[in-house]
Structure 1
Amino acid sequence: MTNYETYLIDLDGTMYRGKDKIPEAHDFVDRLNANNINYYFLTNNSTKTPQQVADNLMNNHQITATAEQVITPSLATADYVRHMFDDDVSNHTAYVIGEFGLKSAIFGTGIKLDEDNPDVVIVGLDYDVTYHKFEVATLAIKRGAFFIGTNADTNLPNERGLVPGAGSVISLVETATQMKAKYIGKPETDIVDYAVSAKGFDRSKAVMVGDNYNTDILCGLNAGLDTLLVYTGFSTHEDIAKEERKPTYQIESLAEWDVK
């Protein structure tokens, strides 16, 4: 077993399930801290700001976290948008379907809001999504706006079960426009590339930890990271048995993992 310098840790299904605690998660992070091992929470949740994510971990799950340790697809998408134009991003416009976490990151770049003829349309999970929002996004993309999706998660594990995720919202826009979104979050490598650039760790000495083969594990594999699958959320043993590319490690719970 490699002594990893950095852990990239998923949230839903790995640290908690919706509002329900995963008891082993608290102890796992405590052991990382006790061994002075670097860790970041790499989530596909675009609805919350990093501070909101950290507050939820600390206050509701007693898991040590700071905003600086949280990496979201909103931050990675904002970084992508900031660098996608040849001139200053403030000269350009965007339309966003999503919650505050996504909108605050995107418009924090200086890009302007435009519902009529934006340069880019960004779609993430929106708990109050409406036909009107889909209509605005669809028409803008049809007129030539660049189409970005935060992440392809079709479902999210919470205390009620597997509920619709951002990918389900984005797929409606893809169907309506007959265009594929540029995805930023897991399993794409963009979010890991952003994390490496923003936090400065060595990816060859990092491991991706998560419960979902299709997002967490594939992201790690695609980005050249070792991967640790924990069976506390989305993926099952039957799922993994069918996959040709296996996780580096598989465990039933984080209590089994020896932090060094």
Structure 2
Amino acid sequence: MKGFLIDLDGTLYRGHEPIPHAAAFIQWLQRHQMPFLLVTNNSSRTPEQVAEHLLAFGIEVPPAAIYTSSQAAAQYLTEQRGGNRVHIVGEAGLRIALAAAGFASDETTPDYVVQGIDRSFSYEKLTEAVRHVKQGATYVLTNPDRMLPSDGGLMPGAGSLAAAITAASGVEPVVIGKPSPIIMAYATERLGLPPADVWVIGDNVHTDIRGGAVSGCRTALVLTGVATADNVHEQVASAGVTPDLICSDLQHFMDQFKA
């Protein structure tokens, strides 16, 4: 039995554009009753919103089959038992996940500054986050992605905002999302399989593939997002990690897997 941890942005879809063969791949997994979890570094949506978004591409999965970096951040903070006051730099998916886990927003003396993607990020938000971190709040980053696939091309991600907070505060964050072993451990635990029996599939060598490799999983890079046929060699070289498989798309992966 093999399990699969599958990325979303750049692997199953690109912004609001479907990626060919993505729906057929999920249906193939479901038909053969192979366990999978859709693991995304994107902290902006709830699992329910992600499931609804996927329906537009003909991909039908329950919210329980989706695991976000916001959920992983909430799980991590719960295990730390370091207080329940949070200052959030992020969007609805992060706020809802933290509130559901019992954390309360505190703009005065938070125990944690939790940051994800925030498309309304401003100088004021940067200043507030830095002040809290310098006053002793633990800085937690949902994911380190500096760039994300979108409809019009790549756009800055949570990691780009984190670079500003880190530069100003002098404090490196606790990173939750891929390639961090934190989210990978949580995800494989949810699958109920040892890492050696799990394939990690994604389009980003620095996050998806590195995260799978450091966690002892097998890895497959698809050239449909951050990595493309034109830049794959540069991406692999800069990341310093080599996928077990490099596939043009998910149909290519299925062909290789069945072979």
Contact 2:205 2:236 in 1 (8 A): no
Query: Match of 1:70?
Result: 66
One-letter amino acid of the counterpart of residue 238, structure 1: H
Contact 1:39 1:69 in 2 (8 A): yes
Q: CA RMSD in A?
A: 1.5
Contact 1:121 1:141 in 2 (8 A): yes
Distance in 2 (CA, whole Å) between partners of 1:180 and 1:241 is 25
Answering whether residue 6 of structure 2 is matched by residue 6 of structure 1, we say: no
Distance in 1 (CA, whole Å) between partners of 2:198 and 2:220 is 11
Contact 2:35 2:191 in 1 (8 A): no
Paired residues for 1:122-141 under 5 Å? 122-141=114-133
Query: Match of 1:79?
Result: 75
Answering whether residue 96 of structure 2 is matched by residue 104 of structure 1, we say: yes
One-letter amino acid of the counterpart of residue 27, structure 1: A
- CA shift at 1:43, angstroms? 0.5
3-state SS of 1:228 partner: strand
Query: Match of 2:162?
Result: 170
Q: In percent, how many aligned pairs have the same letter?
A: 35
Distance in 2 (CA, whole Å) between partners of 1:56 and 1:47 is 12
Q: Residue 22 of structure 1: which of 12, 19, 24 is its match?
A: 19
Q: Residue 55 of structure 1: which of 46, 52, 56 is its match?
A: 52
One-letter amino acid of the counterpart of residue 47, structure 1: S
Distance in 2 (CA, whole Å) between partners of 1:140 and 1:30 is 46
Runs (4 or more) in structure 1 with deviation over 6 Å come to none
Query: Match of 1:38?
Result: 35
3-state SS of 1:61 partner: coil
Query: Match of 1:152?
Result: 144
Contact 1:240 1:246 in 2 (8 A): no
Runs of 5+ in structure 1 lacking a partner? none
One-letter amino acid of the counterpart of residue 202, structure 1: P
1:143 and 1:241, CA in 2 relative to 1: closer, same or farther beyond 3 A?
closer
- CA shift at 1:244, angstroms? 4.3
> How many residues are treated as equivalent by the alignment?
252
Distance in 2 (CA, whole Å) between partners of 1:256 and 1:176 is 44
Query: Match of 1:181?
Result: 173
- CA shift at 1:44, angstroms? 0.5
Paired residues for 1:110-259 under 5 Å? 110-235=102-227, 236-240=231-235, 242=237, 244-258=240-254, 259=257
User: For 1:4-41, what per-residue CA distance to the aligned partner results, in whole angstroms no more than 9, with x for missing partners?
Assistant: 52111101110011111112111111111111111111
- CA shift at 1:241, angstroms? 5.2
Distance in 2 (CA, whole Å) between partners of 1:244 and 1:192 is 19
3-state SS of 1:257 partner: helix
Contact 1:116 1:136 in 2 (8 A): no
- CA shift at 1:238, angstroms? 2.3
Contact 2:37 2:191 in 1 (8 A): no
One-letter amino acid of the counterpart of residue 153, structure 2: G
- CA shift at 1:240, angstroms? 4.5
Distance in 2 (CA, whole Å) between partners of 1:196 and 1:20 is 28
Contact 2:5 2:201 in 1 (8 A): yes
Runs of 5+ in structure 2 lacking a partner? none
One-letter amino acid of the counterpart of residue 250, structure 1: I
3-state SS of 2:155 partner: strand
1:155 and 1:107, CA in 2 relative to 1: closer, same or farther beyond 3 A?
same
